[in-house]
Structure 1
Amino acid sequence: MIVRSLYLKILFAFLAILTITMLLTVGLFLMTAGRSYKCYLDQQATAKLKIFKVMVQKELDRHKDLPVEQNPDLAQFLDTCTALFGVKLWITESGGHIVLQSFEGPVDFMSSRVSPKIYHDDGITLYHYAHYVLKWEKYYAVIPISDQNQELILHLFVDTQKSSRHEGLFLIGMLLIGIAATLMLIPTVLYITRRVNRLNQTALAFAGGDLSVRTDIKGDDEIAKLGDTFNLMADRLERLVSNSKELTANVSHELRSPLARLRVSKELILDKLNTDKLNMDNTDQKGAADAILRLLNNMESDIRDLDALIEESLIISKMDYQESALEPETFRFSDFMESMMDAYQPLLSSHCLTLALDIRDLGKARQDKALVKSVLSNLMDNAIKYSRSGNTIHVSAGTVSPKGLEFSVSNPCPPMSQNDLDRLFNPFFRIPGQKAPGTGLGLTIAKKQVMRCKGTIRAEHNGREICMTVSLP
């Protein structure tokens, strides 16, 4: 599972570091302080065993004339120790025969699968058994004693019968400390991620076209400085975009005046030539006049192209500079499409083109009707402009949701690279080798209008046709 939330990443990273730190701390404790503590306890146990040996030997010496098993004081002493301290005591001869014991039952008490720690001191051997999984400790001591020149062995066995150990308590304490540290960290992590999310939402709003949005993150830390840097960047970008849009709008508007003067001058020259031509008797003069007329007609074509370019530039500038609100309305999309296609029949006929319709009537749609009409007109004009006589233009349309709709316009087109398809919506881009007149702004305008509706427009080529598909939510 990939964790994408910054909050969870920080929290999990802290928990991982905390867990590793706790494990290393517990391990270090067991290897140093814990081991020293155990050694200290075992040393104390050995010292007590020395004292216990002296006390047992004193009871033996009190009745030297009696066998060990008949010594009443020794038997009573051992029974008392067993009753008070819960230890098992027994005495054996050097051959291993039990001569006296303070408990009933067998003396086989330890499994050979558990390896003890062994301590030797003054003839006393102490076996320390510990099982870290089952959490218990047991001690077994072998103490040499003597009676009437006979060597005896006193055996002592202690089962602590503890259900918990010091290490367990220490680990529980560390766990509680870790939980407390995590709980204290959560507000800090939430504080950080909440501010990052606010900055992210502001950036998304700015990327969505709201250039006036700013973040209000307070403080002197890195996130607050990042917020201030974002605001500074947004201010400069807003001014830059605003100045650029205003410049484009003003330049496009101002170009209309010299174009109008050029057209008027052309008309005056044309009138003058037509008048003079009627009075000309020389064939050479008439030929020169006809050449000038052709140049003037070419000038008129260039003026119309430039006028169209300015018009489309003004449209784009107005869309960027002062974007009007959408005016959605409910209408039957199939009827709308049929009406649009009927209006295009004369133009299609004049270019010797046929139209193939595939309209799916799936109900009503709710969109800005004028905007949809503008997008569809751009696509149809484009398809007609770049289609040769005798070709067929395919139009497919239908509703795709209770409110959304989708339509596509396809026309024959030479194969195109994916790079050229991606650049079709860039301003002033023309298909390489294409000689049809145009400004290269029609698809740019269509894309901007589609984006206003939060929709998508894409270009695809199937090897024979290029298809422009529009989806509006």
Structure 2
Amino acid sequence: MTIKRLYLKILFAFLGILLITILLTIGLFIATAGRCYKSYLDRQTIAKLKIFKVMVQKEVDRHKDLPAEKNPDLIQLLDTCTALFGVKLWMSEPGEHIIFQNFEGPVDFLPDRAHRQVHHDSGITLYHYILKWNKYYAIIPINDRSQGFLLHLFVDTGKTSRHEGLFLMGLLAIGIAATLMLLPTVSYITRRINRLNQSALEFAGGNLSVRTDIKGQDEIAKLGDTFNLMADRLERLVGNTKELTANVSHELRSPLARLRVSKELIRDKLEQGASNDAIMRLLNNMGSDIKDLDTLIEEALALSKMNYQESPLAPETFIFSNFMKSMLDTYLPLLSSNDLVLDLDIRDFGKASQDKALVKSIFTNLMDNAIKYSPPGNTIHVSAGTISPKGLEFSISNPCKPMSQEDLDRLFNPFFRIPGQKAPGTGLGLAIAKKQVRRCKGTIRAEHTGREICLTVYLP
């Protein structure tokens, strides 16, 4: 069965890791602390048996002329031990013939029931029963006359050592406690992921304003911030696309309407037998409208491409003052044909590192805009310099009637035209320039000085 819920996956993974950890801990305990503890019990038991052997040997040596089973002091010592400690004792000859036992019933405490045996230098053999360290069987050799005899002890306190069991129960208790403490964390993680998933579903359903409010500094919070950033950009992109579509549709109506009127007029002129000059004027007007349409579509496509896809920058090092002078040289014929004067203030400050093609496009948009909206007989001021060791700045100023701050703020919006402006244009040039400046990590601003409008670009 495939587990689909993250909550259960995390919980089962933790339980699996916990189980493996418990088993490894038990194995480590048995191999280290458990073995030390058993060795300690062995030493304690052997020490007691050695003392008991000395006591028995002393009684045997006091009555060397008596057989062990008829030695009254030895029998009394064995009975005392049995009464005090509940030990079952018996004696046998080396051939395992029992010569004495202080309890009734068969002697069936055989070593094959034992788990392990411990030998000692004094000849004592100790057998431990499986997992019952309070139950053992010992054989003690005693010297008596010629061949001696074996003293057997069977100790069963009736209490099973529970050290391993208690340790295991403790580990299980710790595991259960850890699992219970994990549940809120797992729930916290999955709850935040579910909130992020719900926000994504709402966004996919068309609610572009939805945002997630996941707090914190962890990976899920960072994922939530990334989602919000993506949602902001997509909402802005969709909004710009809608605005662009609406504005393009609006701007297309005027030249299309003029083309439609020109077509009807040409038809009428042809039916009336009008002169070729009148028809050519109408055709020239249609050519101008078609050119406006081409320009509008080209700039709208450029702006749309910037919204959807940004190619990586290609910075290169170049001398900015030489670059500006070469650009302005190409505009001298156009300035002369429009009866405009160019005033330059270019300061040489060395090399610049930027995407040269983008800088050229920005400058061209601003310069074309200044020439287009400057009446003949006026001056266009161009200045370039630096405001920091690593930044370059240039500005273009041209005559302009006074503008409100609201119009200045809207100057870089797509299709915005200065109220009362009759010069032809699409209103997309400055919008494109602003996006290009942002791609270069720079800023652009517009200000009115009373008689002129000044557009200033700063590029780092």
Following the alignment from structure 1 to structure 2, what is the Cα–Cα distance between the partners of residues 86 and 42? 19
Query: Hey, what does 1:28 align to over in structure 2?
Result: 28
Is contact 2:63-2:71 (8 Å) kept? yes
Instruction: Return the alpha-carbon distance in structure 1 between the equivalents of residues 202 and 110 of structure 2.
Output: 74
CA separation in 1, counterparts of 2:251 and 2:24?
77
TM superposition shift of 1:113: 6.4
Say if 2:149 is the partner of 1:152: yes
**1:77 paired residue number:** 77
Counterpart contact for 1:75–1:100, Cα < 8 Å = no
Unaligned runs of at least 5 residues, structure 2:
294-460
The yes-or-no answer on 1:190 pairing with 2:187 is yes
Instruction: Give the SS at the match of 1:217.
Output: coil
Q: For residues 126 and 113 of structure 1, do their structure 2 counterparts lie closer, same or farther at Cα, with a shift above 3 Å needed? A: closer
SS in 1 for 2:99: strand
Q: Which residue of 1 aligns with 2:225?
A: 228
Single out whichever of 115-124 and 39-48 deviates more from structure 2.
115-124
Q: Secondary structure at the match of 1:107?
A: coil
- Structure 1 position 47, deviation (Å): 0.8
Change (3 A) 1:158 1:113: closer
Are 1:127 and 2:127 an aligned pair?
Answer: yes
Separation of aligned partners in 2, 1:162 and 1:79: 22
What code does the residue aligned with 1:180 have?
A: A
CA drift at 1:227: 1.8
Tell me what 2:438 maps to: none
SS at match of 1:116: strand
Q: What is the aligned partner in structure 1 of residue 91 from structure 2?
A: 91
TM-fit CA distance, 1:27: 0.5
Report whether the alignment pairs 1:18 with 2:24.
no
- Asked if 1 retains the 8 angstrom alpha-carbon contact of 2:138 and 2:154, the reply is yes
| 2:3 maps to amino acid | V
Instruction: Report whether the alignment pairs 1:274 with 2:271.
Output: yes
Distance 1:106 1:86, change over 3 A: same
Work out the CA distance in 2 between the residues paired with 1:164 and 1:201: 56
Task: Check whether the contact 2:115–2:127 (CA below 8 A) recurs between aligned residues.
Answer: no
Q: Secondary structure at the match of 1:156?
A: strand
Which residue identity is paired with 1:50?
K
The residue type paired with residue 47 of structure 1 is: A
- Residues 366-419 of structure 1: CA deviation (Å, up to 9, x unaligned): xxxxxxxxxxxxxxxxxxxxxxxxxxxxxxxxxxxxxxxxxxxxxxxxxxxxxx
Q: Within 5 Å, which residues of 2 pair with 1:194-273?
A: 194-273=191-270
**Quick one: which amino acid aligns to residue 224 of structure 1?**
A
Q: Report whether the alignment pairs 1:106 with 2:116.
A: no
Offset at residue 192 of structure 1 (A) = 1.9
Whether contact under 8 Å (2:53, 2:142) holds in the other structure is yes
1:136/1:160 contact within 8 Å kept = no
State the Cα distance separating 1:46 from its structure 2 match. 0.8
Question: Aligned runs of 1:37-76 on 2, under 5 Å?
Answer: 37-76=37-76
The aligned amino acid for 1:146 is N
Superposed counterparts of 1:143-182, under 5 Å: 143-163=140-160, 165-182=162-179
Deviates more, 1:60-69 or 1:45-54: 60-69
Q: Deviations over 1:413-472 (max 9, x none)?
A: xxxxxxxxxxxxxxxxxxxxxxxxxxxxxxxxxxxxxxxxxxxxxxxxxxxxxxxxxxxx
User: Secondary structure, in 3 states, of the residue corresponding to 2:214?
Assistant: coil
Alignment of 1:285-324 (within 5 A): none
**Distance in 2 separating the partners of 1:170 and 1:121:** 33
Report the Cα distance in structure 1 between the residues aligned to 2:62 and 2:261, rounded to whole angstroms.
Answer: 146
> Structure 2 counterpart of 1:24, which letter?
L
Q: Which residue of 1 aligns with 2:419?
A: none
Please give the alpha-carbon distance, in whole angstroms, between the structure 1 residues aligned to 2:3 and 2:194: 16
Q: Structure 1, residues 55-93: CA drift from partner, whole Å, max 9, x if none?
A: 222333444443322333333332332233232210011
For the residues of structure 1 that align with 2:110 and 2:193, how far apart are their CA atoms? 62
Q: CA deviation at 1:117?
A: 2.6
Query: What is the one-letter code of the residue matched to 1:252?
Result: S
Contact 2:114 2:127 in 1 (8 A): no
Taking the aligned partners of 1:244 and 1:69, their CA distance within structure 2 comes to: 113
Q: When the two structures are aligned, how many residues end up with a matched partner?
A: 282
The Cα RMSD (Å) is 3.0
What is the distance in 1 between the residues matched to 2:246 and 2:111?
Answer: 96
- SS of equivalent residue, structure 2 residue 130: strand
Identity %: 76
Change (3 A) 1:50 1:86: same
- Greater CA drift, 209-218 or 190-199: 190-199
* Mapped contact 1:11–1:189 kept (Cα < 8 A): yes
Return the offset for 1:184: 1.4
Are residues 61 and 154 of structure 1, via their aligned partners in 2, closer, same or farther at CA, if it must alter by over 3 Å?
Answer: same
CA distance in 1 between partners of 2:111 and 2:124 (Å) = 22
Match of 1:450 in 2: none
SS in 1 for 2:20: helix
TM-score, length-normalised on structure 1?
A: 0.54
Q: Does the 8 Å contact 1:146/1:152 carry over to 2?
A: yes
Distance 2:84 2:155 in 1: 12
